[in-house]
Structure 1
Amino acid sequence: MLPRTLAQRTTRLAALTRPLRSTTSIRPTRTLLQTQQFARPASHIHQPLLHRRAASTAPSSGPSAADARIEEITELYATAQDEFEIAMEETEKQTVYAQDDRNAAREELEKVLEAYRAVVEGEDRELAEEVRRRIGQRVRELEMGVVRMEELAQEHD
């Protein structure tokens, strides 16, 4: 004879393994991925229909000039962002390294701004607009962050 708790578990497990509907049903089952909500690839969720069609019919010719310049600026931006985060943390903690870290963050920001301005103030207006549209906001946010960090440092001194 089985102990009472084991018998109850066995009964519950047997109930869980039974099919939820009859096997004679001819109605097809749909998985969650087959429903319309999940049927589209995630890359197309935020793109308007016109852009999706244009993107799918356009031949891929490799990275454009804008992509190359944006990648270059983005790499500089990533380094500057890391330096900014370190400097901000040290400034908030008022450590002895804070001033040197702020200087390093400013130097990296200047590299980003120099590369960004070279493109935005360059001759190619189309390239300038593309770069401004795609990464201009991030560059401005980093610049404002460094300004706020310097103001915070002045308050602590």
Structure 2
Amino acid sequence: MENLNELYSTARDEFEIAAEETEKKTVYAADDREAAADALNMLKESFAKALKETSPEVSREIQTRVGSRIRELENAVKAMEEMAMED
């Protein structure tokens, strides 16, 4: 669970940086969006692995604690990508 929290924190930080750079339309924006997507994918992979490798009780707890935050972050990354495509 601690590993997932760390990965979430990293993915969230990468998203915030990418969102700021995208909003400002800097030359770094595309690379930052890619870094945010990569961090999100690492989080999702670790999340899926954790769900498979733990007991049903622990899986439910992980799903409850982390699942909604991952979906929220995933939606935010998608919205940021769509915003970038509009420009």
Q: Smaller-chain TM-score range?
A: over 0.9
Q: Alpha carbon RMSD of aligned pairs, Å?
A: 1.1
CA separation of 1:123 and 1:78: change in aligned 2, threshold 3 A: closer
Asked if 1:81 is matched to 2:6, the reply is: no
Match of 1:150 in 2: 81
Q: Distance in 2 between matches of 1:100 and 1:133?
A: 32
Cα deviation for residue 125 of structure 1 reads 1.5
Kindly state the Cα deviation for residue 121 of structure 1 after the two structures are TM-superposed. Answer: 3.6
Unaligned runs of 5+ in 2: none
SS state at 1:95 partner? coil
The answer to whether residue 47 in structure 2 is matched with residue 103 in structure 1 is no
1:134 aligns with 2:65: yes
TM norm structure 1: 0.53
- Which structure has the highest helix share of the two? 2
* Higher relative contact order (CA closer than 8 Å, sequence separation 6+): 2
AA at the equivalent of 1:117: A
Aligned-residue identity in percent: 49
Bigger Rg, which one: 1
SS in 1 for 2:27: coil
Unaligned runs of 5+ in 1: 1-69
1:75, 1:101 → 2: CA distance? Answer: 19
Please tell me the residue identity of whatever aligns with 2:51.
V
1:124 and 2:82 are equivalent in the alignment? no
**Count of residue pairs brought into register by the alignment:** 87
Tell me, in whole angstroms, the C-alpha distance in 1 between the residues paired with 2:83 and 2:55.
38
Question: 8 Å contact 1:119–1:127 — kept in the other structure?
Answer: no
